[in-house]
Amino acid sequence: MSDTLRNRMTLARVRLAVQIVTLFFTVWGASVLGHYAADKISTALPALSCAYDQQHGAYCSLIPLEHQMHHRIGEAIAKAQQITLQVIMPMLVTLATFIAFFLVAGKAFCAWVCPLGTLQEWLNRAGRRLGLVQNAADSKTATRLRPVKWVIFLGLVFIVPLLAGMNVLPHNLGNPFCDMCPSRVATTLLGGQLEEFAVPEVFGIKFVLGGLGNTIFGFTLIGALALRQPFCRICPMLAMNAVFRHASLTRLVKVRHEKCGKCGICTKACPMDIPEIHHEHGRKAFNEDCTLCGRCAEFCPDDGIIQVKFGPWAVFSSNRDYYKRRLKAETPEGDPKPVKFMPKPRPAGDAA
């Protein structure tokens, strides 16, 4: 491989290529593979992929879970009838299909495949190019936000649909998160569908949820211009992926290093502002908010400290020479200062 090609071939560019391919696949894929594949793709892919099937849009792997909690388990408990394998098996099949996908790439689905994650990242790049002031969540704010995704995951994906199935709550609350999910609006709009963007005319629960969905969608679009991955921080899919993160073959590995507590470059590069990555190692460094984008490994200035691994193999490993090339690539010509969120090199006396 020539030096020119090697200098241009960065992990971020490879990820960008994957994002572009998967964006087309998850939004317009059914036009190529047919809508009959939707139950094997959009309802099983561990990413918010509502618009895959143009004929039956607004389905990702969260909605089967909501439907099972609502139509199967909830109604079975309400009627005080049999809770048998006929009730439990559909949910287990959905979960097993999700795990089959997840075992391969794990949380990388969030950073490499999820259409909403891709759109937020591209909007943030646009905001930087427009000169908008960029913001990062400090360590306390990033930590305080973490319970929100679990509240949404447990409350809106499990508890509310279950109570609706038991007739404790109205039937229209059968899939509350999907009714307000910004990905449902964003990806279906990309697919040329306006139905999900329109708020129901009849006032009621669906009207309120639709209005909330459009509001969250708007805040996500605007917020992404000045804050990296705003919705990802509270996304219930991130919570669901966090449950199984250590079971996946693809994971983040960080070894102990004497300078890690002082450097902090990896946290500055992290789009999720994860503070643990620079002062933890081992399993603790692979935080619940990590989306496996690989930026911490890209911007670690020491060799082999942070790795993205698939099984026993290192897919990407931090490298000082790579770090220097990557930093130079994101620094505007003639500007001696790195752009916002591009961490500065260490002083010469701290060089490894």
Q: What are the pLDDT digits (tens) for 195-233?
A: 777 777 777 888 888 888 889 999 999 999 999 999 999
User: H helices then E strands: how many in the chain?
Assistant: 19, 3
- Cα of first residue to Cα of last residue in the chain, in angstroms, is 27
The candidate with the shortest Cα–Cα distance to 111, out of 241, 300, 254, is: 241
Question: What integer best gives the mean pLDDT of the chain?
Answer: 81
Strand-pair partners of 309: 251, 314
Q: Compute the Cα dihedral for 218, 224, 230, 232 and give only its sign.
A: positive
pTM: 0.73
The amino acid that residue 325 corresponds to is R
pLDDT of residue 91: 74
Per the CB < 8 A criterion, the answer to whether 299 and 343 are in contact is: yes
Judge whether residue 236 has pLDDT over 60. yes
What is the Cα–Cα distance from 311 to 269, expressed in whole angstroms?
25
Rg (CA), the chain: 21
The CB density around residue 228, as the number of other CB atoms within 10 Å, is 25
Per the CB < 8 A criterion, the answer to whether 116 and 48 are in contact is: yes
Per-residue pLDDT reduced to its tens digit, 298-310: 998 889 899 999 9
What is the Cα–Cα distance from 70 to 248, expressed in whole angstroms?
29
157 or 336, which is more confident: 157
190 or 349, which is more confident: 190
